[in-house]
Structure formats: C-alpha cells, structure tokens
Amino acid sequence: MLRRTTRILTFLTLAGSASFAADRARIEVEVRRWDPSINGQIQILEAGFGTEIDFETDLGLEADSFEDLRLTFYPSRRTKFRFSAVPLDFAGDSVVSRSITFAGQTFTVSTRVASQLTLDYFRAGFAWQFLASSDNRFRVGPLIEIKGFDGEAGLAAPDLELPESIPESFQAVFGSAGIAIDLEPSDRLHFFAEYTTLVGADEGDETDLEVGVRVHLWGALHAIAGYRSIEIQFDDDDDRIDLDLDGAFFGASLRF
C-alpha cells in the first residue's frame, strides 16, 4: 500500500513540475491551537473478553487544547508539500456506572476509574491544484497523503488494590486521498478547505476535514482560524478503537 501511495506522489510531483518555475518557491511554518471535543469507543480484549467502553459516558475523557505543527513548501501556486504532527493527550477520572473489562482487568460498578489516552497523529502529503483560475486566486485539485498514528490507552483504579494498568498500544500507517480547495479574493484574505479519506486498507477507516480562513497581518505573519474534524476507526484483530474529534482551531504562520 505504501509503495502504491509513493508511486502516486511521484507521478503527481512530475505532473505538477511544469508549473514550478512560474512562481517563487515559498515556505510556511504554522502553529495551530486546536480545541476538539472527543467521542467514541474502545475495546481491548484478553482471552476473548472485553467491554466496548465509551470515552465520554464511561470514562469521562476530556481533551485539552493541542498544538498542530505544520511545515509547508510551495514550489508553485498550484502545488504544495506539507508535513504536520498533532500530539493528542486525553485524561478522565470518573466513577463507572456499569462493570467494564479492559485488557483482562474488570472494573465493577461504582469503581473510580482513572483513564489516559494518547495519540500522536502525523501526516505528509502533496497537493496538485491543476484546476485554477488564470490569476491562480481559485485553485482546486487532488491531495495525496501518507498518515499514521501511534497511541496508548490505559485504565486504573486508584482507590483499590488492583494491579497497575499497563497501557495498551496501537499503531497504523496508511495512505489517504482527497481534495484541496483554495480561494484568495485579495492579497490579505485566503479561504481554504481540505478533505481526505483512507484508501487501500482493510483494518479501518479515517477521514480528516478542515475549513478555515487565513488573514495576512503584516510582513510574513498570518493569522488562521477554522474548524477541523477527524474520525478514526481502527481494528487490530479483536481490538478496536473508534475516535471522533471535532472543534475550532486558531493560530499563526510565517511565510518566507
């Protein structure tokens, strides 16, 4: 799957190379603050037994604000390479209203359960917006990405003499494809939208949607605001995680 995604990236790079010389190369360093809400379930089995545990109703997991770090290289107005990473960290502390079993450990009703979920989510992609207006202020085209995540989840009962929770880990790397749209009505205002979804994998599903606006403040400095939604469904044998994140983001970038 990765070899196929790499071939697609190479093809699009060569196809877009004719326009590279048309515009000055540009680099953008971007930091976003993202405030998502969390929904979903997780199930980790041991000897075939385990409960589908709800992040919100069972564990009371809450998300803090996260930094989305991005580096984008623009060979031309119609092409861009991007690398980004978001370290996600969620914590919960609640009294469960039903018995739940996680990785072989059962937490009975009315037990106080402390939970932790971490997820490092990264992306590397290329967009070729070959459909564009003559002045390049409106651009649309395919977006191809290699994505991955590295996560851990753990539950513990701080008030009971139960074994310490051993975090259960899960990882995946996959290819995705979608569309990137940009509209720049003026030199100071830039609207953008992106949507990608997983391709060529049987172990789950993933979608990533974002819409936003970028405003040129002065010099190399830009302000950014918008909305982002990520849905991850991942299956590893009988273990499963279903995670939905959505919320507003804001930040700033420097373009050189």
Q: What pLDDT band is residue 15 in, cutting at 50, 70 and 90?
A: very low
Q: How far is CA 34 from CA 29, 95, 251, in A?
A: 16, 28, 9
104 in the Ramachandran plot: left (φ > 0), alpha (ψ -120 to 50) or beta? left
pLDDT digits (tens, 9 = 90+) for 43-68: 988 767 888 999 999 999 987 788 99
Residues in the chain: 256
* Spatial CA neighbour of 148 closest among 110, 198, 182, 183: 198
Domains and CATH numbers, the chain: 2-255 (2.40.128.90)
The pTM for the full model equals 0.83
| Number of alpha helices (DSSP H) and beta strands (DSSP E) in the chain | 1, 15
Containing 8, the helix (H) or strand (E) segment is: helix 2-16
